[in-house]
Amino acid sequence: MKHFFRSIKYLRPYRVRLAAAMVCVVFIMLLWAGGLGALLPGVKILISDEGLHDWAWRSMTEDRLDAKVVARVIRGEHRFGDKRLDVTDYLDVVKLDKKTSAAEAGLQETEWLVGLSDENGEVQFLNAYELAKVIGKTAGEQKINLLVYDPHTCTGRVIKNIPLEDVGYFSRLLGALSDRLPYDQYTLLLILLGFGIVVTILRDIFRFAQEYLVQSAVYRGLMDLRCDNYNVVLHLPTTFFSEKGVTDSMSRFIHDTGELARGQITLFGKTLVEPGKLIGSFTVAMCLSWRLTLLTMVVGPPAFFVIRKFGKIMKRASRRALESWSDILGVLEETLSGIRVVKTYTMEGAERRRFFRVNRALLKEQWRMAAIDSATSPAVEAIGIIAAMGAVAVAGYWVINHPDVMDQGRFLALMACLAAMFDPVRKLAHVNTRFQRADAAAKRVFELQDQPTEKIVRNAPPLPRHCQSIEFKNITFRYPNAADDALKDINLTIPAGQTLAIVGPNGCGKTTLVSLLPRLIDPAAGKVLVDGADVGEYSVRSLRRQIGMVTQDSVIFHASIGENIAYGKRRPAPGEVESAAQKAFVDEFVAEMPDGYETMVGEHGSTLSGGQKQRIAIARAILRDPTILIFDEATSQIDPDSEQKIHQALAEFRKGRTTLLIAHSLSTVLEADRIAVMDAGRIVDTGTHAELLERCELYGQLYKEDKTG
């Protein structure tokens, strides 16, 4: 779970919201406990002969005498001295500690309390709840004279000066309620139902506030996490994407962070609310019967074992499912971006089967996760029910054989509290599996964040504007997991202002070589020097700001044409965009568009032709006004007429700038000052076109193939 808890640091800026959510949890817990606490009065009102007021008076009497008393009906005729015992029910002393004041005054267990005597010896027989009311209402620290009847000897007596104890908090609360509530049971029931409605509404208000505060904090923290990861991605070396691909990173941004958010919401949602409800239920249950409540706690160890075991399986399955999501995104991206090729080559069936395979792999992991998720709650519930049935058996025995220990009302209220206890436990069983899924997602999210970024020297000085030379010195480079070096012992010097064309067969390392200059990749050995300065020791930004680059695959963003040309220059001066567009002949097709340079292009420039996209990319490089130009197959998608015009514009624009030009078509490099021929990662020769035709066999072969092609 370390990866998941690592994500919690993103919630620290929003800790006030989370603190407010925790306050809401406290109120939810108290209201939940209050609702459960109203169960016993409700039971007393509905099914018990002892109403709320009688219960309150009897409870106060028990506190006053520090004894357990039960109201019972008189059966048969009994006499108290020479008088007939004229009551219909009485208070039976079923439990009495011998160390209490009442016991020391002479009161004994199993005796009946049937009335009171005044100072003059006059006796007054009182029914059970009449007597309980008088005793309960008597002020504390006073003494009373109790009429006591012993059913075993059939004799009555007066116990004088029995000191009364103080009333406990619970009995005092019951008494205060009974003083303020009507005696009619139906009216009491309506009041109790109204109380339940108020408690429910208040609890739901706090639940809404708690869930909203948690989710708003989580989504804000998630936004910060995505921004941090995006910043990391922007500074990852290009070799990371050539090795891992783009769709895997996209999956971590989209699906993995979503799974992580659900885990955080669960942590500050159910993980706080349900334990709060559990504590409330447990507290009320302990007040009703601490022995039976503790008996049900035997469910803890086996439930913990089941939850922990299922959680481990869930984590493994969740990680594999997230990887399968990445595979699906990869297939979708490839198929949809290449839909024209798919249709042209009638490969719909093959792509459908490929998608089915990765989709099936995801389904298998989702089945496994569904099985675990579905089994967790029933397993924990079964364990809980077994423990609850044991508690019911014991409680039922007490109700049937020892009603003085537990009456029917207390039994029903306790069962309701135990059920309320196990409901949060059942819900919390899903929490662990949710955390395991979130932890698997967090691991993948932070794996991306922990990737080594481009090598940047802190406080590196800016690189002065290039004016002397570019040198590749003893360069060796190998891509990750590759068997051979892509570049081998490269040594090449380019004077400032010179145009160098680089030619060679496919895969010989041309693009890799020019990628070293803007530090898109760093050499494994050797140095890249600009004006004699090692670029690795200077600010990357100051280096790249001097470079304009146009690649074979023109990158066009979903923005206007003007914004695409101005990309890389934050605030172009008025007219600069149009000037660069004219030099790249962009103005020829922009003039035909109703919105001109404000015309929005589709995703990846889908509304433009290949030649139009390439011209925009060239205009972007021209606007940057770089000292170094890199053209990698820059005119490969342009029609011959536009190519000729662009060559004319570039011939003028290259003056005073160092230019590296890569082209398969040798006709585009004839105007270069010098040509470097590469093969298998090495430079085999350099010179002019005429010199290379005379002495370089590979160049001659390439030129011949280009002419015949």
pTM, rounded to two decimals: 0.67
Please tell me the number of Cα atoms within 13 Å of 588 on its side-chain side: 14
Percent with pLDDT over 70 in the chain: 81
Give 537's DSSP letter.
G
φ/ψ of 200, rounded to 5, equals -65, -45
What is the per-residue pLDDT for 528?
Answer: 92
How wide is the angle at C-alpha 390 spanned by C-alphas 388 and 393, nearest 5°?
Answer: 110
Residue 54 lies in a domain: no
Region 385-412 average pLDDT: 66
> Can you tell me the distance from the alpha carbon of 474 to that of 487, in angstroms, rounded to the nearest whole number?
10
Region 265-292 average pLDDT: 73
φ/ψ of 85, rounded to 5, equals -75, 100
CATH number at residue 668: 3.40.50.300
> Can you tell me the distance from the alpha carbon of 187 to that of 194, in angstroms, rounded to the nearest whole number?
11
Residue 538 lies in a domain: yes
Contact (Cβ atoms closer than 8 angstroms) between residue 192 and residue 45: yes
Q: Which two tokens stand for residue 637?
A: 């998608």
Among candidates 25, 498, 434, 441, which has minimal Cα distance to 229?
Answer: 441
| pLDDT at 709 exceeding the cut of 60 | no
Residue scoring higher pLDDT (400 or 367) = 367
Task: Say if residue 210 is in the same domain as residue 302.
Answer: yes
Among candidates 527, 490, 496, 494, which has minimal Cα distance to 510?
Answer: 490
Confidence of residue 429 (pLDDT cuts 50, 70, 90): low
Contact (Cβ atoms closer than 8 angstroms) between residue 60 and residue 135: yes
Look at residue 313 and give its three-state secondary structure: helix
Structural domains of the chain, count: 4
> Can you tell me the distance from the alpha carbon of 641 to that of 585, in angstroms, rounded to the nearest whole number?
11
Last residue of a domain, one of 449, 479, 510: 449
Confidence of residue 636 (pLDDT cuts 50, 70, 90): low
pLDDT digits (tens, 9 = 90+) for 643-655: 676 677 677 777 7
| pLDDT at 347 exceeding the cut of 60 | yes
| pLDDT at 368 exceeding the cut of 70 | yes
Contact (Cβ atoms closer than 8 angstroms) between residue 432 and residue 307: yes
Contact (Cβ atoms closer than 8 angstroms) between residue 675 and residue 689: yes
**Cα dihedral sign for 330, 333, 335, 341?**
negative
Strand partners, 501: 661, 675
Measured CA to CA in angstroms, residue 129 lies from 108, 158, 160, 242 at distances of: 20, 19, 21, 87
CATH number at residue 14: 1.20.1560.10
Residue 524 lies in a domain: yes
Residue 220 lies in a domain: yes
List Cβ neighbours of 155 (8 Å cut-off, separation of 6 or more).
Answer: 149
Per-residue burial over 62-86, b if 16 or more Cβ lie within 10 Å, else e, is bbbbbbebbbeebeeebebeeeebe
Task: Say if residue 314 is in the same domain as residue 356.
Answer: yes
Task: Say if residue 444 is in the same domain as residue 524.
Answer: no
Percent with pLDDT over 90 in the chain: 5
Q: Is 326 left (phi over 0), alpha (psi -120 to 50) or beta?
A: alpha
Among 79-93, 349-363, 663-677, top mean pLDDT goes to: 79-93
Confidence of residue 387 (pLDDT cuts 50, 70, 90): low
Among candidates 127, 102, 142, which has minimal Cα distance to 50?
Answer: 127
φ/ψ of 308, rounded to 5, equals -65, -40
Residue scoring higher pLDDT (183 or 567) = 567
How wide is the angle at C-alpha 159 spanned by C-alphas 157 and 165, nearest 5°?
Answer: 145
Would you mind telling me the total number of residues written for the chain in this entry?
709
φ/ψ of 503, rounded to 5, equals -125, 165
Task: Say if residue 245 is in the same domain as residue 322.
Answer: yes
pLDDT digits (tens, 9 = 90+) for 147-173: 999 988 888 899 988 888 888 887 888
> Can you tell me the distance from the alpha carbon of 651 to that of 634, in angstroms, rounded to the nearest whole number?
14
> Can you tell me the distance from the alpha carbon of 141 to that of 327, in angstroms, rounded to the nearest whole number?
80
Measured CA to CA in angstroms, residue 134 lies from 52, 84, 85, 125, 146 at distances of: 16, 22, 19, 12, 11
End-to-end CA distance of the chain: 61
Residue scoring higher pLDDT (509 or 308) = 509
Residue scoring higher pLDDT (149 or 611) = 149
Task: Say if residue 200 is in the same domain as residue 95.
Answer: no
Confidence of residue 460 (pLDDT cuts 50, 70, 90): confident
| pLDDT at 270 exceeding the cut of 60 | yes
> Can you tell me the distance from the alpha carbon of 177 to that of 155, in angstroms, rounded to the nearest whole number?
38
pLDDT digits (tens, 9 = 90+) for 289-330: 767 776 666 666 666 666 667 667 777 777 777 777 777 777
What is the per-residue pLDDT for 43?
Answer: 64
Task: Say if residue 434 is in the same domain as residue 478.
Answer: no
What is the per-residue pLDDT for 646?
Answer: 66
Which residue reads 């004699």 in tokens? 532
Contact (Cβ atoms closer than 8 angstroms) between residue 397 and residue 275: no
Neighbours of 49 (CB within 10 A): 10
What is the per-residue pLDDT for 470?
Answer: 92
Task: Say if residue 24 is in the same domain as residue 158.
Answer: no
Neighbours of 512 (CB within 10 A): 22
Residue 331 lies in a domain: yes
CATH number at residue 113: 2.30.42.10
> Can you tell me the distance from the alpha carbon of 187 to that of 171, in angstroms, rounded to the nearest whole number?
22
Task: Say if residue 232 is in the same domain as residue 360.
Answer: yes
Confidence of residue 183 (pLDDT cuts 50, 70, 90): confident
Neighbours of 466 (CB within 10 A): 20
Task: Say if residue 224 is in the same domain as residue 368.
Answer: yes
Task: Say if residue 231 is in the same domain as residue 129.
Answer: no
What is the per-residue pLDDT for 645?
Answer: 67
> Can you tell me the distance from the alpha carbon of 112 to that of 89, in angstroms, rounded to the nearest whole number?
10
What is the per-residue pLDDT for 639?
Answer: 64
Confidence of residue 708 (pLDDT cuts 50, 70, 90): low
By DSSP bridging, strand 674-679 and strand 499-503 are: parallel
Which residue type does 189 have? L
Contact (Cβ atoms closer than 8 angstroms) between residue 560 and residue 600: yes
Write out the residue range of the structural domain in which residue 668 sits.
466-546+629-638+653-709
Task: Say if residue 378 is in the same domain as residue 408.
Answer: yes
Mean pLDDT of the chain: 80
Residue 426 lies in a domain: yes
Residue 9 lies in a domain: yes
| pLDDT at 113 exceeding the cut of 90 | yes
Residue 278 lies in a domain: yes
Task: Say if residue 350 is in the same domain as residue 403.
Answer: yes
What is the per-residue pLDDT for 411?
Answer: 67
Confidence of residue 491 (pLDDT cuts 50, 70, 90): very high
| pLDDT at 556 exceeding the cut of 90 | no
